[in-house]
């Protein structure tokens, strides 16, 4: 057994051709040896001010590039450093983006990627050439913080094309996920609810609804002048396919407004769901609106005037359509029930849960988020298919599936956005 000079080592890695080994040791040095002779080829103290290493002796890991010409090191701070493997001259640095700034291991992968393992069991994959994370098959593949600001925790999210729109107490922001930049879209505009329909953004605040069109130009997005809904107080908004609907608070009946190119079209029904009505989430292409109050759940046909109702013992907190005629309902007691409107059958899937939200992924799967994790469940049988765990110290504030339903974006109580890939 050969000994490694310089004290106990933190990490080592062999070159792709197997002729060299690079080490990081507790004496604070990066060394490259010929293998297996262990003849020292080059060394550099990581405390050397010329290297401009912020993490000094806290460097903990090293790996060769795919072609063996470079080394990458990382440790207790956010930066990874790239070195010439022959001379150990610095070749630049890039941000790993860890929340707690600690990297335990770096390892090279195929086609110019580096796999970084952080403490708390997080894994990230980076493209070395572009110095950007890849969103491949990893758990925490994306965390938003552009280095300039943290967004407040009280946030509502929606999609504007491929961009993520955030409605916060500090205004409305848009995140370009491809370019990793944020834009302050409406600094003074915030509301209780945000909804995106086509190229329009809708805000609801204290019963009033405002909307504007988002136009894309060379300098990013801009909003057209704000318009106001001239009608009764609105208790909720929902998007069904490409249409946007507003729910009025009319007593003794149901009043819905559909957005049209010329304004809003009003439709009324005599059926009353109960006080403080809210919309449920509709499946794409279902042709139905779901409305729930403290008395019943209503299925409203968008093609005609048909309204079907089912009484409820407790007012639902969350209502999500599953399949052509079924709904998942979470009541105030924390019971998750599946109701089939055609067969008038009810089944309880879980009891005593307290989720932040429930989101439909497809007709067979839903995502339920609470506390520090999100569970993906099969609707039939309530079998858990996947669990997504937030980093330690992070609490779930809200989440939103991606448009393709291949990932979930999570908003934490500390003002961060994470992406988790889904496998079903």
Q: pLDDT averaged over the chain?
A: 78
**198 has a pLDDT exceeding 50:** yes
Question: What pLDDT score does 135 carry?
Answer: 37
Look at 79-93, 94-108, 131-145, 188-202 and tell me which has the smallest mean pLDDT. 131-145
At 164-183, the pLDDT tens digits run 888 877 788 887 776 667 78
Question: What pLDDT score does 364 carry?
Answer: 79
- Which of 204-213, 351-360, 374-383, 391-400 shows the highest mean pLDDT? 204-213
% of the chain surpassing 90 pLDDT: 12
Tokens describing residue 2: 């050969």
Determine, yes or no, domain membership for 22.
yes
Query: By CB neighbour count within 10 A (0-12 exposed, 13-18 middle, 19+ buried), where does 261 fall?
Result: exposed
At 300-317, the pLDDT tens digits run 888 877 888 888 877 888
Could you tell me which residues are beta bridge partners of residue 31?
Answer: 23, 43
At 270-301, the pLDDT tens digits run 888 888 889 988 887 888 899 988 888 888 88
Could you tell me which residues are beta bridge partners of residue 20?
Answer: 34
At 347-366, the pLDDT tens digits run 777 787 788 888 888 877 88
Buried b or exposed e, range 236-248, using 16+ CB within 10 angstroms: bbbbbeeebbbbb
Determine, yes or no, domain membership for 148.
no
155 — pLDDT class (breaks 50, 70, 90) = low
Determine, yes or no, domain membership for 53.
yes
Q: Is 241 left (phi over 0), alpha (psi -120 to 50) or beta?
A: left
3-state secondary structure at position 189: coil
Determine, yes or no, domain membership for 111.
yes
- C-alpha distances (whole Å) from 155 to each of 225, 280, 318, 319 are 23, 20, 18, 20
Tokens describing residue 235: 């208790």
Look at residues 170, 159, 179 and name the one whose alpha carbon lies nearest to residue 220.
Answer: 179
Residues 6+ apart with CB under 8 A from 21: 12, 13, 14, 15, 32, 33, 35, 38
Domain that holds residue 34: 9-134
**Cα–Cα distance measured from residue 299 to residue 346, given in angstroms and rounded to the nearest whole number:** 16
- Which of 44-53, 188-197, 336-345 shows the highest mean pLDDT? 188-197
Determine, yes or no, domain membership for 158.
no
**341 has a pLDDT exceeding 90:** no
Neighbours of 397 (CB within 10 A): 21
Determine, yes or no, domain membership for 406.
no
Strands 243-248 and 254-260, by their bridges, are antiparallel
332 — pLDDT class (breaks 50, 70, 90) = confident
CATH of the domain at 116: 2.130.10.10
Domain count, the chain: 1
Against a cut of 0.85, is the pTM above it?
no
Query: Is the distance from CB of 52 to CB of 90 less than 8 angstroms?
Result: yes
Question: What pLDDT score does 424 carry?
Answer: 56
Task: Give the residue carrying structure tokens 């909720």.
Answer: 236
Tokens describing residue 366: 């839903």
Determine, yes or no, domain membership for 40.
yes
Query: Is the distance from CB of 294 to CB of 283 less than 8 angstroms?
Result: no
- The average pLDDT across 94-120 equals 63
Strands 193-197 and 181-186, by their bridges, are unpaired
**19 has a pLDDT exceeding 60:** yes
Question: What pLDDT score does 259 carry?
Answer: 92
**Cα–Cα distance measured from residue 161 to residue 387, given in angstroms and rounded to the nearest whole number:** 27
% of the chain surpassing 70 pLDDT: 78
Q: What distance lies between CA 170 and its chain's CA centroid?
A: 20
Determine, yes or no, domain membership for 92.
yes
At 30-41, the pLDDT tens digits run 999 998 888 999
3-state secondary structure at position 121: helix
147 — pLDDT class (breaks 50, 70, 90) = very low
At 227-260, the pLDDT tens digits run 999 988 999 999 988 889 999 876 777 889 999 9
**Cα–Cα distance measured from residue 169 to residue 349, given in angstroms and rounded to the nearest whole number:** 35
Could you tell me which residues are beta bridge partners of residue 75?
Answer: 59
- C-alpha distances (whole Å) from 403 to each of 6, 163, 406, 417 are 53, 10, 8, 16
Could you tell me which residues are beta bridge partners of residue 113?
Answer: 127
Neighbours of 195 (CB within 10 A): 23
At 45-96, the pLDDT tens digits run 876 444 444 444 467 788 888 888 989 888 776 677 889 999 999 888 777 7
3-state secondary structure at position 57: helix
Question: What pLDDT score does 150 carry?
Answer: 45
Residues 6+ apart with CB under 8 A from 178: 162
Residues 6+ apart with CB under 8 A from 201: 160, 165, 172, 194, 195, 211, 212, 213, 214, 223
Tokens describing residue 31: 């060394």
């Amino acid at each position: 057994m050969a000994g490694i000079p310089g004290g106990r080592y933190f990490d080592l890695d062999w070159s792709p051709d197997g002729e060299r080994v690079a080490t990081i040791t507790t004496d604070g040095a990066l060394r490259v040896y010929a293998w297996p002779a262990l003849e020292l080829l080059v060394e550099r103290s990581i405390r050397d001010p010329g290297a401009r290493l912020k993490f000094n002796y806290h460097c903990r890991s090293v790996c060769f590039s795919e072609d063996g010409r470079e080394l990458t090191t990382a440790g207790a701070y956010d930066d990874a450093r790239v070195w010439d493997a022959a001379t150990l001259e610095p070749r630049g640095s890039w941000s790993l983006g860890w929340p707690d700034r600690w990297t335990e291991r770096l390892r090279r992968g195929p086609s110019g990627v580096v796999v970084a393992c952080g403490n708390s069991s997080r894994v990230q994959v980076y493209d070395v050439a572009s110095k950007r994370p890849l969103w491949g098959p990893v758990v925490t593949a994306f965390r938003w913080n552009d280095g300039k600001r943290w967004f407040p925790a009280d946030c509502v999210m929606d999609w504007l094309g491929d961009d993520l729109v955030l409605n916060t107490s500090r205004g409305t922001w848009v995140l370009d996920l491809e370019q990793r930049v944020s834009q302050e879209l409406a600094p003074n505009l915030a509301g209780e609810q945000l909804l995106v329909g086509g190229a329009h953004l809708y805000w609801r605040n204290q019963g009033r609804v405002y909307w504007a069109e988002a136009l894309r130009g060379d300098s990013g997005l801009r909003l057209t002048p704000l318009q106001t809904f001239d009608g009764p107080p609105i208790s909720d908004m929902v998007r069904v396919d490409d249409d946007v609907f507003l729910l009025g608070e009319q007593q003794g009946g149901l009043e819905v407004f559909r957005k049209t190119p010329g304004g809003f079209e009003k439709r009324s029904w005599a059926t009353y769901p109960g006080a403080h009505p809210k919309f449920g989430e509709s499946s794409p292409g279902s042709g139905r609106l779901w409305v729930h109050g403290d008395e019943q759940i209503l299925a409203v046909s968008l093609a005609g005037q048909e309204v079907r109702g089912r009484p409820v013992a407790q007012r639902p907190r969350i209502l999500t359509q599953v399949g052509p005629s079924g709904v998942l309902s979470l009541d105030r007691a924390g019971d998750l029930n599946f109701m089939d409107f055609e067969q008038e059958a009810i089944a309880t899937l879980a009891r005593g849960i307290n989720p932040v939200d429930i989101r439909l992924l497809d007709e067979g799967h839903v995502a339920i988020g609470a506390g520090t994790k999100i569970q993906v469940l099969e609707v039939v049988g309530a079998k858990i298919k996947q669990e997504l765990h937030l980093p330690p110290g992070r609490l779930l504030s809200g989440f939103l599936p991606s448009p393709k339903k291949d990932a979930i974006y999570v908003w934490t109580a500390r003002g961060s956005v994470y992406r988790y890939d889904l496998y079903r």
